[in-house]
Structure 1
Amino acid sequence: MQHTTSILFCGLHLIAFAAAGPAAHAAESEPIKNVLMIVSDDLKASVLGCYGDPQCETPNIDRLAARGMLFRRAYCQGTWCLPSRKSFMYSKYQGASQKTLGGFLQDHGYYSARVGKIFHMRVPGDIIDGTNGEDVEACWTERFNSPGREAHTPGDYACLNQNIFTDAPENRQSTRMPHRMFVTVQYDGSGDDQPDAKSAAKSIELLREHADQPFFLAVGFVRPHYPMVAPRDYFNQYSLSSIETPHVPENDLDDIPAAGLRGTRNGNNTIGQYPENQKRMWQGYYATVTFMDRQVGRILDELDRLGLANSTAIVFTSDHGYHLGEHTLWQKKNFHEEVTRVPLIVSVPGLASGETDAIVELVDIYPTVAELLGLAAPNDLDGVSLVSVLNDPTRSVRDSALSLDRIKSGWEFADRGDRWAYMRYVDGSEELYDMDSDPNQYRNLAKLPEYAAHLEASRRRMDEKIKRHELKR
């Protein structure tokens, strides 16, 4: 199945790139003085070539993985944009630490710049308006927005759950409109007018301007977040006949509690009536991932051209994953693997490339950056440094990863361990999956008596973590 991570594929893919690279990379490295952090939006790990997808073209992210450490089991803490981005910029499960990552680095003499979306911005609203959203100004020495026309980009517009196809500029689903999540636009153009292309161009400009001083450059791309807008050539790379939608077993939802089915799914949205348009959703997602990947490549190329690659640590990740019809679910804000598992690649000059099965969290980015720069991280962070794993991919720093979601009546939690994935909702309902035998999470074991011991152990592990970090429930 093309949407299931293939570790063998990934390993061979990276070995091909890395055979001669790491030793030379290590020999030429200098002390780490800069950090480049690239954050994609709504990007599931399983869609990337380096994570095993044989169809989606991501050559630039793949080459970054080939020279860095690829974390196969990295998990977000918030299941949608705002809480996730806040969590990794403050390294807190809930609330905020005393300093953002950017503010901390400014205190130590670093130029700190944001380009695009790092803290939460409404997409498309803040992108169309060119506004800052929930950004924290104190995090940055300078900050730059990358506006775009989004769904209003002239071209072939589709609202796929409404089965609408038109090139007319009127009546397009956009900011705060109910069907905006199913919009694609493909058009004839270079892509230079798109927000992510503008973010790449500004980032290149800043690299040139600040090459001689220590910097923290955070680049936030908005694709593949809806609306999925890209030049037509990117859509043409993925014919509908080549796309297979995810396999959904019969009665797959029967053992998922109602709390786990709150979001959009085929049964409560008209996207379920249009199987061919579900393929078009995958086509739009692939197209915008590949377009975003091209912008990553532009920045990496400039980093190399300026001679900064040997003194710059690079972090690539996403705020959370995304459902594209798995379990008949769409979008985000639930605890299944397609949402909570995210790509995480950390490339550090002087350290060998590789892959690791260590379980890590996005809150770990902040203390990792601090240690790589030789700085003592603030003592109020929830994350742990991953430098030991970067030095030895067989090391572990935690036994599970916690994800959280807040609803009106309280907090809900998921805990992803080495084998068992456990989810608990405010109403007390639960899910438990054996990730060794059931990686696609088709069979909820929470109510089966023969798994009672594993359920209890998972409950205990989660409760201990909630207590240790004094989390609200």
Structure 2
Amino acid sequence: MRSIFALLLIAMCSLSTFANEPKIKNVVFIISDDLKASVLGCYGDPHCKTPHIDALARRGMLFRHAYCQGTWCAPSRESFMHSRYEGKSDINLGKHFRDNGWYSARVGKIYHMRVPGDIIDGTDGLDVASSWTEKFNSSGLEAHTPGDYACLNQNIFTTSLENRESTKMKHRMFVTVQYDGDGSDQPDHKSATKACELIAEHKDDPFFLAVGFVRPHYPMVAPRQYFAPYPWQQIELPATVDDDLADIPKQGIANTVSTTNAIGKYPDNQKRMWTGYYASVAFMDRQVGRVVDALDQAGLRDSTAIVFTSDHGYHLGEHGFWQKSNLHEEVLRVPLVISAPGFKTGETDSVVELVDIFPTLSQLAGLPIPDSVQGKSLVPILADPRAKVKDAALSFHKGHSLRTDRWHLMRYKDGSAELYDMKSDPAEFTNLAGAPGYAAKLKQLDRQLDKTLEANGLNK
């Protein structure tokens, strides 16, 4: 007869083995386009209505300090899909799941697509075919949607379909369209519908489903009911300070600035830009809710890891800047929510990066993490929000950004720099690079940036 000790040992080993088996049988990776973290309710915005993303955050881990690596669509998406700071490797996130026997599907924009060009044409953009078992594009009329059209930096308001700013046109980024309809004609609604169909179709098999929504990327098109809660007359524009750009180096200035673009002539239209952005975010949020609801209806919520994020943030007049492609906080900081069965819910202030998503999902699914991956798994933070997996986030554009929990260094290729104390100056109004008393801190962060670049095989 076996001893009680031996039986207990066998039982403990069995429990340990069970605990180590992956509980995640499916992955849904949802990516918004041009979405700044600060605009969501769960990140503290009191105005924008994002109940579905907020609900997802309550059932998962919200990362308050998540940062993109590329500062516009193409390099950012290539970066997180390959878990490489710059460039790509032979293995990507979708291919990794596919090679391990999972059904892998793309719906909408995952790798770079021209918006609106590829959306209007229904084309693949810079998609990587090896990622997917199947792929589905979601087309739409974009700025050509019949309705109330505005080109806000040109102060044009019309219902005519003639002469609208569209693909590759100079003023397309300042376009909004609000119209009468239920939204079912919009690309994001189509993407959500297809995602729901795929969830139901593949519920009995392990699947990796990447769902890419194009809003709030311009043109900001949504049904009229999504504009209604945000009348432009009630919008408060971002705070400004006198001579705000005086201490920002030339390479730190955004490509589109109120001082040189006609949008600066129209403060009311700047408010209308916020209205359009809020409306687009709210419409996209509804589509997120539809996808999550489909998981619940299929009985898959307790076996599915859900990730929600964006490729980068966006400027809407902060510092007089518009759009993306610079190294300031509004561009680099992105929303990141991971809802994984068996892990804690809550929030974390740990600094993380989008390159961390690939190894995180691999570990959650019980897959090996490829040697090519440069990110770190966030599973320790899912288990304990106080945990840290890295000391800083690295981003690149005309140089590099190093974002620690308190400091933000931007070092440009021409040798100029910006340094901000994010604890006392979260809006980045006072550049401390060169300021008295900060030489030692600048030197320390300079060395840290050099070491980080060297560790990842990157040029200074």
Counterpart contact for 1:323–1:338, Cα < 8 Å: yes
Counterpart contact for 2:174–2:218, Cα < 8 Å: yes
Mapping of residues 241-252 of structure 1, within 5 Å: 241-252=233-244
Q: Deviations over 1:402-446 (max 9, x none)?
A: 0012xxxxx510000111100011111100000011011000000
2:425 corresponds, among 422, 433, 438, to 438
2:443 corresponds, among 456, 459, 472, to 456
Query: Which structure 2 residue ranges, 5 or more long, are not aligned?
Result: 1-20
Q: Name the % identity.
A: 64
1:277 paired with 2:264, answer no
SS of 2:393's equivalent in the other structure is strand
Write the distance in 2 (CA, Å) between the matches of 1:262 and 1:271: 14
Q: Which residue of 1 aligns with 2:32?
A: 40
Mapping of residues 243-322 of structure 1, within 5 Å: 243-322=235-314
2:404 corresponds, among 413, 417, 420, to 417
1:78 corresponds, among 56, 67, 70, to 70
Write the distance in 1 (CA, Å) between the matches of 2:419 and 2:100: 44
Q: Deviations over 1:226-247 (max 9, x none)?
A: 0000001101111122210100
With 254-263 and 180-189 compared, the bigger mean Cα shift is at: 254-263
Write the distance in 2 (CA, Å) between the matches of 1:229 and 1:262: 24
Write the distance in 2 (CA, Å) between the matches of 1:121 and 1:96: 17
Q: Which residue of 2 aligns with 1:398?
A: 390
1:340 paired with 2:327, answer no
Deviation at 1:94?
Answer: 1.3
1:350 corresponds, among 330, 342, 348, to 342
Q: Read off the aligned partner of 1:470 and give its amino acid letter.
A: G
Q: Read off the aligned partner of 1:446 and give its amino acid letter.
A: A
**Relative to 1, partners in 2 of residues 1:59 and 1:279: Cα closer, same or farther, differing over 3 Å?**
same
Q: Which residue of 2 aligns with 1:65?
A: 57
Q: Which residue of 1 aligns with 2:181?
A: 189
Counterpart contact for 1:30–1:311, Cα < 8 Å: no
Q: Please, what TM-score do these two structures have when normalized by structure 1?
A: 0.92
1:120 corresponds, among 100, 112, 115, to 112
Write the distance in 2 (CA, Å) between the matches of 1:101 and 1:84: 14
Q: Which residue of 2 aligns with 1:130?
A: 122
Mapping of residues 88-237 of structure 1, within 5 Å: 88-237=80-229
Write the distance in 2 (CA, Å) between the matches of 1:472 and 1:227: 36
Write the distance in 1 (CA, Å) between the matches of 2:25 and 2:158: 50
Q: Deviations over 1:349-398 (max 9, x none)?
A: 11120000000000000000000011110011110000000000000000
Q: Read off the aligned partner of 1:122 and give its amino acid letter.
A: R
Q: Deviations over 1:243-271 (max 9, x none)?
A: 10100111111100111114101011000
The structure with the largest alpha-carbon Rg is 2
Counterpart contact for 1:43–1:320, Cα < 8 Å: yes
Write the distance in 1 (CA, Å) between the matches of 2:46 and 2:379: 30
Q: Which residue of 1 aligns with 2:414?
A: 427
Q: Read off the aligned partner of 1:296 and give its amino acid letter.
A: V
Write the distance in 2 (CA, Å) between the matches of 1:81 and 1:155: 28
Q: Which residue of 1 aligns with 2:459?
A: 472
Write the distance in 2 (CA, Å) between the matches of 1:171 and 1:353: 49
Deviation at 1:30?
Answer: 8.8
Write the distance in 1 (CA, Å) between the matches of 2:266 and 2:213: 29
Write the distance in 2 (CA, Å) between the matches of 1:356 and 1:262: 30
Spell out structure 1 runs of 4+ moving beyond 2 A: none
Write the distance in 1 (CA, Å) between the matches of 2:254 and 2:295: 43
Q: Read off the aligned partner of 2:183 and give its amino acid letter.
A: G
Query: Which structure 1 residue ranges, 5 or more long, are not aligned?
Result: 1-28, 406-410
SS of 1:449's equivalent in the other structure is coil
Q: Deviations over 1:436-466 (max 9, x none)?
A: 1101100000011310011001111110011
Counterpart contact for 1:30–1:349, Cα < 8 Å: no
Write the distance in 1 (CA, Å) between the matches of 2:139 and 2:459: 37
Write the distance in 2 (CA, Å) between the matches of 1:118 and 1:412: 25
Deviation at 1:97?
Answer: 2.2
Counterpart contact for 2:344–2:384, Cα < 8 Å: no
Deviation at 1:472?
Answer: 2.9
Counterpart contact for 1:433–1:445, Cα < 8 Å: yes
Q: Please, what TM-score do these two structures have when normalized by structure 2?
A: 0.95
With 165-174 and 96-105 compared, the bigger mean Cα shift is at: 96-105
Alignment RMSD, CA only? 1.0
SS of 2:290's equivalent in the other structure is helix
Counterpart contact for 2:22–2:366, Cα < 8 Å: no
Write the distance in 1 (CA, Å) between the matches of 2:443 and 2:162: 55
SS of 1:253's equivalent in the other structure is helix
Counterpart contact for 2:399–2:412, Cα < 8 Å: yes
Write the distance in 2 (CA, Å) between the matches of 1:267 and 1:427: 23
Counterpart contact for 1:37–1:217, Cα < 8 Å: yes
Counterpart contact for 2:24–2:365, Cα < 8 Å: yes
Counterpart contact for 2:92–2:131, Cα < 8 Å: yes
Q: Which residue of 1 aligns with 2:9?
A: none
With 110-119 and 30-39 compared, the bigger mean Cα shift is at: 30-39
SS of 2:29's equivalent in the other structure is strand
Write the distance in 2 (CA, Å) between the matches of 1:422 and 1:177: 34
Write the distance in 1 (CA, Å) between the matches of 2:289 and 2:312: 21
How many equivalent residue pairs? 440
